[in-house]
């Protein structure tokens, strides 16, 4: 059993990064969260501390908040992660930013350290190519919110060392989650299947097959999905799903072409829960 490295780091302590830092702390690691400024570092620290407080309150950890907090530190820029055996990159989904940050992270870390990107859509091979360590690079795609989700997609690049994939599986288990191993390909496993179902559900509304609530009930009651594909589209954001559909259509072909109804709703500002209207009124 390969244990998680003692010293770990997270680059970008936003919604996902703070959740990942919290999971690493609960698994017993020291965690450094690197941010962009003093202000954002303090905010990242507050997010992790809030998650720690919730875990202590709910009894999901046997450690005290003080003991967990003692293993957390924050810093500025990739250099703050020097000495970490594992660094998870969780900066915003912007190709130029990720390339710049991963290049600097590569320079800051020891040669045998592992870099994992939490990207939800970008090619792991393309991200790995900006570093000097494609064999020690892979995707670890966490889900939102991290504490409540049981899954991590371990995304394997063409040059990722198979021994690292085995380690990553074990690390995910130590984080109390289950790994699925996916070869680097557009949408990995989760987005590709989730979007396929979501797009078909939108096409069914478009064709007048059934109302959104009935389509969703077919999946929740008939297939035991926790939430139906249209309600989920509303929660995620119609604009977010349209962007992913366009990205997948470009790479995997017209089976991911977005239905006109989805484009029309996005153009009309009906983005789902965040704007009060999507396939449902919120």
Ligand X SMILES: NC(=O)c1ccc[n+]([C@@H]2O[C@H](COP(=O)([O-])OP(=O)(O)OC[C@H]3O[C@@H](n4cnc5c(N)ncnc54)[C@H](O)[C@@H]3O)[C@@H](O)[C@H]2O)c1
Query: Which residues of this protein are in contact with ligand X, per CB under 6 A?
Result: 11-17, 34-36, 40, 44, 90-93, 101, 118-120, 142-144
| Nearer of residues 151 and 165 to ligand X, judged by Cβ | 151
Q: Which residue is nearest to ligand X (CB)?
A: 14
Residues 6+ apart with CB under 8 A from 61: 26, 52, 55, 68
Minimum CB separation from ligand X for residue 104, in Å?
A: 9
| Nearer of residues 24 and 215 to ligand X, judged by Cβ | 24
Minimum CB separation from ligand X for residue 199, in Å?
A: 19
Minimum CB separation from ligand X for residue 99, in Å?
A: 11
Residue with tokens 């009651």: 221
Minimum CB separation from ligand X for residue 78, in Å?
A: 7
| Nearer of residues 29 and 90 to ligand X, judged by Cβ | 90
| Nearer of residues 205 and 244 to ligand X, judged by Cβ | 244
Do residues 262 and 202 make contact, with C-beta atoms less than 8 angstroms apart?
yes
Do residues 271 and 238 make contact, with C-beta atoms less than 8 angstroms apart?
yes
Minimum CB separation from ligand X for residue 35, in Å?
A: 5
| Nearer of residues 50 and 217 to ligand X, judged by Cβ | 50
Do residues 101 and 78 make contact, with C-beta atoms less than 8 angstroms apart?
yes
Minimum CB separation from ligand X for residue 112, in Å?
A: 23
Q: C-alpha dihedral over 229, 268, 94, 128, to 10 degrees?
A: 40
Do residues 245 and 265 make contact, with C-beta atoms less than 8 angstroms apart?
no
| Nearer of residues 12 and 205 to ligand X, judged by Cβ | 12
Q: What is the DSSP string of 191-258?
A: HHHHHHHHHHHHHHHHTTSS-HHHHHHHHHHHH--SS-HHHHHHHH-HHHHHHHHHHHHHHH-GGGPP
Beta bridge partners of 127: none
């Amino acid at each position: 059993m390969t244990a998680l490295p003692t010293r770990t780091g997270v680059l970008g302590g936003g919604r996902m990064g703070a959740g990942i830092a919290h999971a690493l702390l609960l698994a017993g690691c020291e965690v450094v969260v690197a941010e962009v400024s003093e202000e954002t570092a303090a905010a990242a620290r507050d997010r992790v501390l809030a998650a720690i407080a919730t875990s202590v309150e709910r009894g999901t950890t046997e450690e005290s908040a003080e003991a967990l907090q003692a293993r957390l530190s924050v810093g500025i820029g990739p250099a703050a992660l020097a000495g970490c055996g594992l660094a998870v990159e969780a900066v915003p989904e912007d190709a130029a930013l990720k390339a710049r940050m991963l290049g600097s992270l590569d320079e800051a870390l020891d040669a045998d350290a592992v870099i994992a990107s939490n990207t939800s859509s970008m090619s792991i091979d393309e991200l790995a190519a900006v570093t000097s360590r494609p064999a020690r690079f892979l995707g670890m795609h966490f889900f939102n919110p991290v504490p409540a989700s049981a899954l991590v997609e371990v995304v394997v690049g063409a040059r990722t060392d198979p021994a690292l994939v085995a380690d990553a599986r074990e690390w995910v288990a130590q984080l109390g989650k289950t790994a699925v191993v996916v070869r680097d390909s557009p949408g990995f496993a989760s987005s590709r299947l989730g979007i396929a179902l979501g797009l078909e559900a939108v096409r069914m509304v478009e064709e007048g097959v059934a109302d959104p609530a009935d389509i969703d009930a077919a999946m929740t009651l008939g297939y035991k999905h926790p939430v139906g594909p249209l309600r989920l589209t509303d929660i995620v954001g119609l604009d977010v799903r349209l962007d992913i559909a366009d990205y997948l259509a470009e790479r995997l072909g017209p089976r991911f072409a977005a239905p006109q109804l989805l484009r029309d709703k996005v153009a009309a500002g009906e983005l789902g829960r965040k704007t009060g209207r999507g396939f449902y009124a919120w």
